[in-house]
Structure 1
């Protein structure tokens, strides 16, 4: 049996130890829905054709992933570490940009790749757009990429019916990964700053909801500007609420943070190159067992299998927090929806600018009365502020003033870098001025009989800085 000290030490080695090096890089991942403008399912044959076309155009990209049908689903440039791939399904393309020291290099390469792919799709009446939920999801064939990881993930999400005696309800969209898209940022955070980074950034999640929400579930719950939150929370990823969403606690030190890591659930491991799913269970419970019964995919079907837990299985621990520690020694910020494409770098700019302003940001939040000191936690506040109509307990002018103060602080942080990256924050000032965000604009536009096709086109357009 594996004891708690072994687990704690392994968690430290995997999540905390990599942050001992002082680095200062930025990583950006942008998931983008693919849309068939004929209002039919995305043509997967076309997707594969454009993948090959991209590889021919950008010859430095090498095949990184091939599905069970022999189709390429991931390409990687070993010189830049840029990855162009499909996320969960062939309805969703992802541009995972290799780490850089500044945003302009990332933006230049992203715009280049995006323009090529979008123009290639538009030759066949398909397109790309910057929305956090695919507005044409009902037309699509929402099936996972036939690969180890994505079949495992979908099998886990479909297993919600097997959880009978837990105090939560599940939505009925286990395929949500195939129609929802995020904009994620990874920053190198030094170990001594980890706890404060998580504590302080957690408290501005409600403001991030006000600024960045862009996930409207058309036809259902379309009064919510960021429905992605619910898709994660009320899925099998949320069986243990510590695995998703907010922390809603203040960590005292690294020991506190490690204790939180011990509270997480695990639901899959690998053996001999194959994933094994099992019911989501606490990490300590998993390692207390002599054997765990799960399912393995083999020759087109699942069969039962028993495995013996081993300490290296911690590398398969997959929490999906709004703020995640990674095995690479980075902190990943993952609560923000894909943005209108022209605003894509605003997400990274916001986090990067605030990274070195933790004390000032903490001071702003401590003194705030626009959202805090009203009896609500940060998690509760975020749920209130992703509604189309902001509850009356909040003063909109005060909300905008708080948002501007935080964006101003991010701007100061970027200015101190002396590169000019603060230009990427401009869209946020426009949103603050108009008391809106991309999700609210979608909701208001639909109410005013604006066709969704117009929004698809608008949100898919690039602007070159």
Structure 2
């Protein structure tokens, strides 16, 4: 039988031990909606043609994933670890950039890949745009990539109807991974800064909502600037609220953080190259069982199967926190929507600059009274600040100053790196000055009977003011 000490030691080896080596790299993943301008479903045959065209043009990219139908869904450059792939479905393209020391190298390669791919799609009256929810989602086919991982993931999300006695609301969008897009950043973190990094960055999630929200669910929830938050929270990923969203606790030390890891849920493992789904359950509870009844995909259908827990199953522990500690010794920031393409590097620049000024950021947020010290948690504040209108109890001038001070602190951190990366923060200064963000702009255009096609075009432009 696997005991709690064994689980704790394995969690340490998987999550904490990789932070022992001090590094300072940056990794970026940008998911981007694909849009058929004919207002029809994205043509997957065109997607596959463009994948082949991309690989032919960038010959250093090698096939890294083939679906059950024989189509390539992932390409990887072994020289720099850049990946071009499709996320959840062929409606969503992703550029995962290999780790680098500076943002300019990442930006140059991303811009090149994006420009080539967008031009290729536009030859077929499709396009790409920088939005957190696909504005043409209602036209698309909601089918996952036929691969082990994505079939498992969709099966898990569709299983919400099986949770009969759970006092929780589930939304009706189990396919949300096929129409929502994020901009994620991974930064190396050392063991001694880990707890401080998570604690302090958690405090600015409400500010990030104001600066970066860009996920408007058109025709349904038009006054929410970041509906992505609800898509995660009210899905089967949120059966255990510790697996998603924010922490809402200040960790005292690494032991305290490890206890939080033990409180997470697990919902899948692999055996013989196949994923096995089972009802989401606490990690320690899972390891207390002799066997767990799950389902495995085989020959086009799901079959029941019993799985015996193995300590190595911690490999398949997949929380989706706003701030995740990964197996790579990195902190992954996951709460930001895909940005207008010209502003793509602002996300990484923001986090990278603030990581250099953790103590100053802590002092700034600890003394704040514009949003804090009013009886609300950080989670509650974020939920309020993803609304189109700022609540009346918050002074708009005060919160504007707080946003400016946070962005300015990020700029200071980047200036101290001496590379010039602070230029990537310019879009954020504009947003603070104009009291807006990309999601609010979408809502404003729609309220004034504007065209969503205007937004699609504008947010898809790759402009370079550097």
What per-residue deviation string (whole Å, max 9, x for no partner) do you get for residues 198-228 of structure 1? 0000000000000000000000111000000
Equivalent residue number for residue 98 of structure 2: 98
Equivalent residue number for residue 382 of structure 2: 382
The answer on 1:29 being equivalent to 2:29 is yes
TM-score (norm 1): 1.00
Equivalent residue number for residue 371 of structure 2: 371
SS in 1 for 2:462: coil
* 2:356–2:414 CA contact under 8 A, matched in 1: no
Equivalent residue number for residue 231 of structure 2: 231
CA distance in 1 between partners of 2:174 and 2:445 (Å): 28
Shift of 1:373: 0.3
* 1:357-436 correspondence runs (5 A): 357-436=357-436
Shift of 1:167: 1.6
The answer on 1:303 being equivalent to 2:335 is no
What per-residue deviation string (whole Å, max 9, x for no partner) do you get for residues 171-195 of structure 1? 0000000000000000000010000
CA distance in 2 between partners of 1:393 and 1:316 (Å): 43
CA distance in 1 between partners of 2:356 and 2:129 (Å): 32
CA distance in 2 between partners of 1:327 and 1:159 (Å): 27
The answer on 1:112 being equivalent to 2:112 is yes
Equivalent residue number for residue 281 of structure 2: 281
What per-residue deviation string (whole Å, max 9, x for no partner) do you get for residues 310-369 of structure 1? 000000000000000101110000000000000000000000000021110000011100
Shift of 1:142: 1.1
The answer on 1:261 being equivalent to 2:258 is no
SS in 1 for 2:332: strand
Equivalent residue number for residue 187 of structure 1: 187
SS in 2 for 1:306: strand
CA distance in 1 between partners of 2:368 and 2:447 (Å): 33
Equivalent residue number for residue 163 of structure 1: 163
CA distance in 1 between partners of 2:462 and 2:415 (Å): 24
CA distance in 2 between partners of 1:191 and 1:166 (Å): 37
Shift of 1:463: 1.1
Shift of 1:430: 0.2
Shift of 1:166: 1.2
CA distance in 2 between partners of 1:206 and 1:119 (Å): 36
Equivalent residue number for residue 326 of structure 2: 326
What per-residue deviation string (whole Å, max 9, x for no partner) do you get for residues 105-138 of structure 1? 0000000000000000001100000000000000
SS in 1 for 2:143: coil
Count of residues paired in the alignment: 465
Structure 1 consecutive aligned stretches of length 4 or more whose deviation exceeds 4 Å: none
* 1:103-252 correspondence runs (5 A): 103-252=103-252
What per-residue deviation string (whole Å, max 9, x for no partner) do you get for residues 352-404 of structure 1? 00002111000001110000000000000000000001110111111110000
Q: Which runs of 5+ in 1 are unaligned?
A: none
What per-residue deviation string (whole Å, max 9, x for no partner) do you get for residues 407-437 of structure 1? 0000000000000000000000000000000
Equivalent residue number for residue 356 of structure 2: 356
Superposed CA RMSD: 0.4
SS in 2 for 1:93: strand
CA distance in 2 between partners of 1:313 and 1:329 (Å): 19
